[in-house]
Structure 1
Amino acid sequence: MSNQKNSQELTGFKKYMQEQNIEFSWNRIGIQALGGMAHGLFASLLIGTIISTIGMFIPGTAGEFLAEVAGYTREIQGAAMAIAIGYSVGASPFVLYSLATVGFAANSLGGAGGPLAVYFIALIAVFFGKLVSKRTPVDLIVTPSVTILIGVLVAKFLAPPIGRAASSLGGIIMWATDQQPFVMGILVSVIVGIILTLPISSAAVCAALGLVGLAGGAAVAGCCAQMVGFAVCSYRENKMNGLVSIGIGTSMLLVPNLLKKPVLWLPAVIASFITGPIATCIFQLQMNGTPISSGMGTCGLVGPIGVITGWLSPSDIALAAGMSGVHPGALDWIGLALICVILPGVISLVVSELMRKKGWISMGDYKLV
């Protein structure tokens, strides 16, 4: 009876879907695909950001070469994310290779929502590519053609609205910047920090808003709280590999874990809630470097370095907003270290340990997939 039931389940459409390795499950579409996207982003844009940061301190040809490499990683990030998504959901070779074009198009057309656009559009392209994969004598032509044409077509219609939706978050951020420094520090820090961890480009949002000054400083605090906070409170599970890849790479690596158990977000969010107003009201931390640095956090140490370069040589946007350079004193340096590294680490660790004792966090919850 059981064999007859299994035979019936593997006929027609269900059988075809299984043969093509097409699975509509939360684990595959949500957890595996988002994990793959984060890995692709890390292996392109984020590692490029780290390389670029190193290049800033190396003079001459070597520094120029590292800057050139970083430029290539920025251009190819969409392709890298799409291929990583395809690999994570078991795409066949021709589907996988074709996703480079799809990812590039989706990221280019998606603007601030580029990573999110790549995620949805790559999954759609994978589905149609898998439908026809290895089903014709001319698979070399059919599968890449279907994957690329449908993927790019969907990108043209879907990516721009996703980009506009991501950019609309800027309205919320700008409303937050108009509040009193204490309230503004909390709101901007928490909102931008959460955006940093989500598959949305916080750097692009901050750049589009020209986020500098105290608001930029609050954004730096929130982004650093997410990255350093998650790196520290997940150390038990991920050890030094996680400390480095999350702390100076991206907290987006933990998105699959957060989707499975949203309470895991609390330590980093609480850290950003506390460090934001400390940055704005006590240390008056300002981002007068390039606005994009406001949304980078400790990724390649771009956020802290942006603050330092803004002290010494304010960006054109900061100058236009009436900001000026400063001669940093001991309090400025202490504030920068506390806001970007020390407080996020300590607060997140204390909160996460309390949550572990309460049973809200279990061993393995933060394990990178």
Structure 2
Amino acid sequence: MSEPHNAIRDARRIVVKIGSSSITAPQGGIDNYRLQALSGLIAKRWLSGDQVILVSSGAIAAGMTPLGLTRRPKDLATQQAAASAGQGGLVAAYTTAFRLHGLNTGQVLLTADDMHRRSHYVNASRTLEKLLELEIVPIINENDTVATDEIRFGDNDRLAALVAHLVDADALILLTDVDALYDGHPRLPGTSRIPVVTSMEQIADIDISATGSAVGTGGMVTKVAAAQLATAEGITVVLTSADQAAQALAGEDVGTVFAPTGRKRRARSRWLAHASNVNGRLVLDAGAVEAVVQRQTSLLPVGVTRVDGVFRSGDTVDLVDPDGNTVARGLVGYDSADLTKLVGHRLENATASARSRGRLTPSPRTVVRRDDLVVL
């Protein structure tokens, strides 16, 4: 058994994402048999002493039947109506399934805004930690009834990766309608399962553009992107089918395992790197790039060559090198209008210039403090 699979077997906190196609029928409605089977597997892991957080799609698909729909709606208003009609039944089905094993569940509905805003992010983390402490199985879904096209996750694969960050998970299991990532189209002869991915460069030439199921939103692109998001923070990821969920949870050699590519950072840094909403960017000169990336110092105005976007003090901005490559991300200490006037100036010179014009200025400050900055 390979080391990446051992990481799943030995994980003490796991996020499991279940796609719509794994628990609903193609024409919509909940497939109670499959939902109860998957719930039973997760309950078994819980009862062995581990913690499992469930991110489940399916509210819209579950609501299709009450609304008399045979196809997933395409317009946002009908999607939200279907989610409203289906979410209660979906959670009720999970509640019934887990109670068969003596476990209680707690529903947590999140929006992208809950991840972008630091205070909401912290509150969501506290809620999930308390549920786990009380041995309640969290059932998480995007709040599709209020999410808009502009502020939604787009798919629950990304949500699952961000939840894995949020709860500091050891592993993430993405259950879908395909059993693994292949080096070609799975139905074509000569294609092979990729058992382990150690870097995204390894699969850069593979076409993963196929769309998802009739009742889901994500395809392989969203799952690989979610894997990249999670592995960057030291989280092992398994991508496999719901039919192989038992083997995946047991750490057997099924599906595709994405090995961690980075180390776990503190919670604030994880939020800043992956969940915060970027409102602008600062172009740095070569010296500032070296100072920020290599020496991990604070960013000063003298190292900024251009300000792009409109933002307020405290917003998140990307720091980019002279070639336009994003090298870091941080919380900016100035409004964009004020920072534009300081570009290329040393703090003491900028203060002296302002005083020479008869203006009272507050104590000079850095553009991005070291403690509010994360290297990407």
Same fold per superposition (TM over 0.5): no
More helix by share: 1
Structure-1-length-normalised TM-score:
0.22
Structure-2-length-normalised TM-score:
0.22
More strand by share: 2
Q: Which of these two proteins has the greater Rg computed from alpha carbons?
A: 2
